[in-house]
């Protein structure tokens, strides 16, 4: 029996097996790995895909991450913040369409006007949906008081990628005043407040090893992450990490394959978490997100941002669907997902099973929501 088959025969891989899974590059090995992860997904969380409507609320950012197209130093970006009414209109549409959840994402700011804006949006989105739309925030590192204010306003989930669990590697892809420890502490705060905790990493960064990625998966478990939002790194021409671009055309296939193996290894190891098939997968292949679902992901985040803002929220080059409206996006996705034999969890919040297992109150809420 090959090493891969011996690992796949275990009820769950051991921590020391993860790097071998991530390194299983031979096409027939990769096929077996992905199929095993898909089977675990179906067993643990079903073949239901949950939609989270994504709003790219603002590209104003005080930070300067070396890989990101909307980093503060990129002067070529026209900055915007979507007006409150437009977001509320989009959230109402999402609720009427049966989306169980929306995500508010933006560059990082922590001034009082920004804190109030998020509080207002959370309160009003909960109000317009009779408290049914679950809200995920993805707006970076904030103080404990701010996280509490937003939680009390009704946000229940928070996505903050650690980017890499390796503090030294983190320092290589961020300016000196960005802190891995502060980010990790934010994750701990979010968990202690009661948020469903989401995190993730970029996959395939220049100089990143499969051993580091294996440790990322262990980090998710250690820090009690129940929603995984990770995706391939893709270079952006106006960032310091653009050097990867020259090699990127031929690297695309390998980058997608690695990202799929990372989804599969995470599903095999963590089993009952939610895992998103990131939009960045679609930049690497038109059906990249569907491939992510077949590798073990169970969440998709259709972009509900008005197309007029999308080109100014390019984190990386080649972002897909820049000019597609929310309606077009929904139609195209539905057909693609159902053709895989998966169903879409319309009218369901799609809370992370792992979170529900730990939190009886939330489990009751999910059950009531499913009945309704």
Give the interface with ligand SAM as residue ranges (CB under 6 A): 67-68, 105, 107-108, 138, 140, 160-161, 163, 202, 231, 233-234, 236, 280, 315-316
Q: Facing residues of 144 across strands? A: none
Q: In whole angstroms, give the CA distance from residue 176 to residue 70.
A: 18
Residue 83 C-beta: closest distance to ligand SAM, Å? 19
Q: 250: which residues sit within 8 A by CB, 6+ positions away?
A: none
Q: Which position among 140, 154, 198, 288 is part of the footprint of ligand SF4 (CB under 6 A)?
A: 140
Residues facing 54 on adjacent strands: 103, 303
**Applying CB under 6 A, does 63 fall inside the site for ligand SF4?**
yes
Residue whose CB is less far from ligand SAM, 229 or 345: 229
**Binding-site member from 23, 100, 107, 244 for ligand SF4 (CB under 6 A):** 107
- Residue 303, classed as helix, strand or coil, is strand
CA angle 72/74/78 to nearest 5° reads 95
Q: Is the dihedral of CA 358, 103, 238, 252 positive or negative?
A: positive
Does 56 help bind ligand SF4 (rule: CB under 6 A)?
no
Q: How far is the CB of 331 from ligand SAM (least distance, A)?
A: 26
Q: Which stretch binds ligand SF4 (CB under 6 A): 60-68, 82-90, 299-307, 346-354?
A: 60-68
Closer CB to ligand SAM, 138 or 165, in the complex: 138
Residues 6+ apart with CB under 8 A from 174: 64, 65, 66, 163, 180
- Least distance (Å) from ligand SAM to the CB of residue 175? 13
Beta-carbon contacts of 178 under 8 Å, excluding residues fewer than 6 positions away, are 63, 64, 65, 170
Q: How far is the CB of 179 from ligand SF4 (least distance, A)?
A: 12
Backbone dihedral angles phi then psi of residue 68, each to the nearest 5 degrees: -100, 130
Which of ligand SF4, ligand SAM, none does residue 105 bind (CB under 5 to 8 Å by kind)?
A: ligand SAM
Residue 283 Cα to chain centre, angstroms: 15
| Site for ligand SF4 contains 126 (CB under 6 A) | no
Do residues 281 and 233 touch, judged by C-beta distance below 8 A?
no
Q: Least distance from C-beta 321 to ligand SAM, angstroms? A: 16
Query: Interface with ligand SF4 by CB under 6 A: which range of 68-76, 270-278, 302-310, 336-344?
Result: 68-76
| Interacting residues toward ligand SF4 by CB under 6 A | 61, 63, 65, 68, 70-71, 107-108, 140
């Amino acid at each position: 029996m090959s090493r891969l088959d011996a690992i796949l025969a275990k009820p769950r891989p051991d921590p020391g097996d993860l790097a071998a899974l991530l390194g299983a590059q031979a096409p027939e090995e990769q096929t077996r790995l992905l199929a095993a992860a898909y089977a675990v997904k179906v067993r643990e969380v079903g073949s239901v895909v949950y939609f989270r409507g994504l709003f790219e609320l603002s590209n104003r950012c005080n930070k300067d991450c070396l890989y990101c197209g909307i980093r503060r130093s990129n002067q070529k970006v026209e900055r915007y913040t979507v007006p409150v009414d437009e977001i509320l209109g989009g959230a109402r549409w999402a609720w009427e369409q049966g989306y169980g959840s929306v995500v508010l994402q933006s560059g990082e700011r922590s001034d009082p006007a920004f804190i109030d804006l998020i509080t207002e949006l959370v309160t009003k989105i909960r109000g317009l949906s009779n408290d049914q739309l679950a809200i995920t925030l993805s707006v970076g590192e904030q103080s404990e008081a701010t996280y509490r204010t937003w939680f009390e306003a009704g946000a229940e989930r928070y996505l903050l990628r650690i980017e890499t669990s390796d503090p030294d590697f983190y320092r290589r892809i961020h300016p000196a005043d960005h802190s891995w420890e502060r980010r990790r502490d934010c994750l701990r705060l979010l968990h202690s407040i009661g948020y469903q905790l989401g995190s993730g990493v970029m996959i395939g960064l220049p100089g990143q090893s499969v051993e580091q990625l294996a440790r990322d998966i262990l980090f998710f478990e250690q820090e009690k992450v129940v929603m995984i939002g990770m995706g391939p790194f893709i270079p952006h021409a106006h960032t310091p990490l653009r050097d990867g671009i020259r090699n990127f055309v031929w690297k695309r296939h390998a980058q997608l394959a690695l990202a799929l193996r990372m989804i599969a290894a995470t599903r095999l190891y963590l089993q009952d978490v939610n895992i998103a098939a990131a939009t960045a997968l679609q930049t690497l292949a038109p059906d990249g997100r569907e491939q992510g679902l077949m590798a073990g992901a169970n969440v998709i985040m259709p972009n509900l941002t008005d197309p007029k803002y999308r080109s100014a929220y390019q984190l990386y080059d080649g972002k897909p669907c820049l000019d597609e409206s929310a309606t077009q996006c929904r139609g195209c996705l539905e057909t693609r997902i159902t053709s895989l034999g998966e169903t879409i969890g319309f009218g369901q919040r799609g809370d992370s099973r792992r979170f529900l297992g730990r939190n009886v109150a939330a489990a009751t809420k999910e059950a009531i929501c499913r009945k309704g």
